[in-house]
Structures are given as structure tokens and as C-alpha cells.
């Protein structure tokens, strides 16, 4: 079954007056009632363009993958509420849903799982690529580079005919191998021997096995831990046109291959304002701990705007009410901490911050509730994932969303290469000055 985009409804026009000339532009309405103004002919008709820094008011595409209503705290994948998927689905099933547009039947899910298992091993030649990185290399640098390196072993990625025919294999290969690359990079950074995946384990179990097992002894996988990490992957699987997803679509618009496009997404995700947010939460907790505070003084400083304190992991740019993912993951966070009996001063501080923020009018009135980054950071620390791997976890979870967006670009017969305009603010025409005459 091919995923499809419902054509938006045309719903009237908007009048624009430029230099005394009146022009009309059509408005379009999405399936959830969101309204856009189609200015596709603006420059051709007037010579003018719009300016919208960071594209906060600009729709870059039409998409049928994910819907967000930040005012109401709604997040849906392909029409399914995130709470419903979190309670009933798995990361593998959710990945299929995002990429192909519908929940798989038993045969489709089995075939997809078989593809994931069959593609989980890396080409043995890639071992030499890993050896070329210094032990100080950041896991995100390794992840991006190795995704590109993996594409070298599959030349039909770049062939337009084969690319479409082989898409299911390439998509499964990338989703499966991204966890293998991530685990291998962790093992290398810590001087540990490589642990290969096992076909008998499910997706998330396999990742934890490759991370924490020894070659001669498998780690014991607690169901609560496996479920918590699988849930983190589901909650991060897609999130509309964020920085990294927009990057993937931009690169894909040039007809770059799937691996190259998603590798670019990894680089965009690496930034501390995007995928590094859950790492910033732990860095904040460490700072509080080093000062001998339990979180109370820190939050007072935040409220009084003293000491240039930044509260990380609370509130969200998109969600103006609450982050629906945080509500889901908080419950699993409590289960994991109770199961592991972890004694960690940073986790104690996190609980204190949560307790104060959820009961203080200052934070309640400003809707500064703990978001998904706050709880996912706590969970990952509790299960032993190092802080520099946090953004890698995000990348593993986001991979099916990137792939779904890549597929949407490739399936769009009207797609054009992305090429934003600009307003030039530099110097006007100048004459070249010979070296001897320059001050």
C-alpha cells in the first residue's frame, strides 16, 4: 500500500496590496483545519518575496505523516494518538506505520521484522572505519560518518530505478544498522570488545545486548528497562518539520540517497538546541549537585531571574500547554527507577525539581511542565547510558520519521529542489582595489 497525501481544500482567497497593486492568493486548509496562504506565485507576480526568519510562520511542505497541535497538547502519527501508540504499539510497528502509512497486518509486520533482522549486521569492512576514529570522537560524529560509509556497500542506493524498487530493503537496513553502529561506537569509545547482534532478540533488546553484554556473557535484560527504551524510541519517532527532519527533506529534494539524507539529519540533530536537549538536562542537574543544592535554591534563582540560571527540560517551543509525550514517559520513568533501585544524587535532584515545578504557581502559570527530554534523560542515566550517547538514542528513535519524510519527498511528483530566497544586505557594486592602494 502506498502512503498518500490528501489534497488540501481550497478555501477562499487572501488579498495583498503591494505598491498600490491588489493581488489575490488562495488559501488552503489541511485535514485538521490548519490554514495556509499559497504564495507560490508571489515573486513571479510582484518581484517580492516574504521574510520569515527560522521559518516559524512558513509551511515548507504538505505532509501526511505527523500532526501536532501545540495549543491542545496533541501529537498523532498518521492519525493515531501518541498515547494510544505508546500503550499498545512497539517501536518496530510504529516505524512501519510512519513509513508506509498504515498499521501492518500480521504478515506485513513479520516481513518487516525479518528485513530488520536480516540487515542488522554491518559489512565486515566497516570495522576498519571504526578503527580510524580516535577514542575521543563523539558518538554522533561516528554515527553520521558511518551511516554514509554504510551506503558505500550498497551502490544501488544511488540508482533511481533500483532505489525505488529496493526502498523497503534500504529503509529496514538503515533502521536496523543505526542501532548496530551506535552500539559499536559506544563500545569503541570505552575500549570494550565488539558485541554482535542476536537474531533471537527484538529490536530494543538487541540494542541493549550490543551495548552492555560481554562477548562471553549476555547481560540480563529487565523488561521494564526494555519497555522504557522502546517507549523513548516511539515518542521520538517523528515530530513534524523540526530542524533535523527539515534537513532530511532538504537534502532529499536534491535526489540524494536515503543514507546521505538521514546522515545530514544526524548532523542537524547533534545541536544542543535540538537533540542535545536531554543531555542539557543532565548537565543542569550536575551543576546543581556540585553546588550542594537539592534543587530548591536553583529554582528560586530561576524564579527571581538571578545568576543567569537556565531551566532545562521544562516547557516546549511547540507545546504551549503540556508535552503529551512527557505525560506518557513519566509513568515509565517511575517504574524504571522503582525497579532498578538506583541510588543517584542527580536523580534525587530531578525528582525535587519535578515536585516543586508541578506544585508551584510560578511554573504552573507559565506552563513550565517537565517535557519529554527531562524524563528521557533521567531514564537513560538510570539504565547506564552515558550522557554523550543521549543524542544518539534520539537519532535511533527519529530514524523512521526521517525515512518516512524522505519517502514522501521521493513519492511527490511535483517536488522541486529546495532553494530559499534571501534579502541581500551587503555592499553595493565596488571596484577592485589593487594591493598597493589598500589601507
| Residues classed as catalytic | 316, 373
| Strand-pair partners of 67 | 76
Burial class, 299, CB count within 10 angstroms (exposed 0-12 / middle 13-18 / buried 19+): buried
d(CA 370, CA 105): 36
Complete DSSP assignment for 326-385: HHHHHHHHHHHHHHHT---HHHHHHHHHHHHHTT-HHHHHTT--B-HHHHHHHHHHHTT-
| CB distance 177 to 203 below 8 Å | no
Helix axes 372-382 and 223-235, enclosed angle (nearest 10): 150
Q: H or E stretch including 81?
A: strand 80-81
Helix axes 372-382 and 277-290, enclosed angle (nearest 10): 70
Q: Coil, helix or strand for 278? A: helix
User: Residues 6 or more apart from 119 whose CB is under 8 A from it?
Assistant: 169, 172, 173, 176, 177
d(CA 287, CA 422): 41
Q: Coil, helix or strand for 11? A: strand
| Strand-pair partners of 370 | 314
Buried b (16+ CB within 10 A) or exposed e, 330-355: bebbebbbeebebeeebbebbbbbbe
Helices (H), 152-237: 160-165, 167-189, 203-212, 223-235
Phi, psi of 418 (to 5 degrees): -70, 130
User: Residues 6 or more apart from 26 whose CB is under 8 A from it?
Assistant: 10, 12, 13, 14, 37, 38
Amino acid at each position: 500500500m502506498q502512503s498518500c497525501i490528501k489534497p488540501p481544500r481550497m478555501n477562499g482567497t487572501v488579498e495583498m496590496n503591494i505598491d498600490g497593486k491588489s493581488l489575490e492568493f488562495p488559501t488552503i486548509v489541511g485535514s485538521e483545519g490548519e490554514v495556509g496562504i499559497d504564495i507560490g506565485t508571489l515573486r513571479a507576480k510582484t518581484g517580492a518575496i516574504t521574510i520569515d526568519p527560522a521559518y516559524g510562520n512558513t509551511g515548507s511542505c504538505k505532509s501526511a505523516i505527523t500532526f501536532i497541535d501545540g495549543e491542545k497538547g496533541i501529537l498523532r502519527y498518521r492519525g493515531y494518538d501518541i498515547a494510544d501508540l505508546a500503550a499498545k504499539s512497539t517501536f518496530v510497528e510504529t516505524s512501519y506505520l510512519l513509513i508506509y502509512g498504515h498499521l501492518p497486518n500480521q504478515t506485513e509486520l513479520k516481513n518487516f521484522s525479518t528485513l530488520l533482522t536480516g540487515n542488522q549486521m554491518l559489512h565486515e569492512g566497516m570495522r576498519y572505519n571504526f578503527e580510524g576514529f580516535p577514542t575521543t570522537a563523539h558518538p554522533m560524529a561516528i554515527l553520521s560518518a558511518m551511516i554514509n560509509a554504510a551506503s558505500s556497500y550498497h551502490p544501488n542506493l544511488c540508482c533511481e530505478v533500483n532505489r525505488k524498487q529496493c526502498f523497503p530493503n534500504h529503509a529496514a537496513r538503515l533502521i536496523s544498522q543505526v542501532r548496530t553502529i551506535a552500539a559499536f561506537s559506544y563500545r569503541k569509545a570505552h575500549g570494550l570488545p565488539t558485541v554482535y547482534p542476536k537474531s533471537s532478540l527484538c529490536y530494543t533488546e538487541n540494542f541493549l545486548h550490543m551495548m552492555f553484554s560481554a562477548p562471553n556473557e549476555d547481560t540480563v535484560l529487565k523488561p521494564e528497562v526494555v519497555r522504557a527504551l522502546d517507549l523513548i524510541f516511539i515518542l521520538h519517532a517523528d515530530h513534524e518539520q523540526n530542524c533535523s527532519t527539515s534537513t532530511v527533506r532538504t537534502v532529499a529534494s536534491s535526489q540524494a540517497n536515503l543514507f546521505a539524507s538521514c546522515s545530514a539529519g544526524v548532523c542537524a540533530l547533534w545541536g544542543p538546541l535540538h537533540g542535545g536537549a536531554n543531555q542539557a538536562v543532565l548537565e543542569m542537574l550536575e551543576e546543581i549537585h556540585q553546588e550542594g543544592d537539592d534543587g530548591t535554591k536553583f529554582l528560586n534563582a530561576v524564579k527571581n531571574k538571578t545568576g543567569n540560571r537556565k531551566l532545562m527540560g521544562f516547557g516546549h517551543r511547540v507545546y504551549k500547554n503540556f508535552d503529551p509525550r512527557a505525560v506518557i514517559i513519566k509513568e515509565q520513568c517511575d517504574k524504571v527507577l522503582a525497579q532498578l533501585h538506583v541510588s543517584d544524587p542527580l536523580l534525587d535532584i530531578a525528582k525535587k525539581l519535578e515536585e516543586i515545578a508541578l506544585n508551584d504557581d510560578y511554573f504552573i502559570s507559565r506552563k513550565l511542565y517537565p517535557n519529554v527530554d527531562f524524563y528521557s534523560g533521567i531514564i537513560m542515566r538510570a539504565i547506564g547510558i552515558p550522557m554523550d550517547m543521549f543524542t544518539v538514542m534520539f537519532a535511533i528513535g527519529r530514524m523512521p520519521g526521517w525515512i518516512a519524510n524522505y519517502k514522501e519527498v521521493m513519492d511527490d511528483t511535483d517536488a522541486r529542489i529546495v532553494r530559499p530566497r534571501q534579502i541581500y544586505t551587503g555592499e553595493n557594486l565596488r571596484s577592485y582595489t589593487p594591493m598597493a592602494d589598500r589601507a
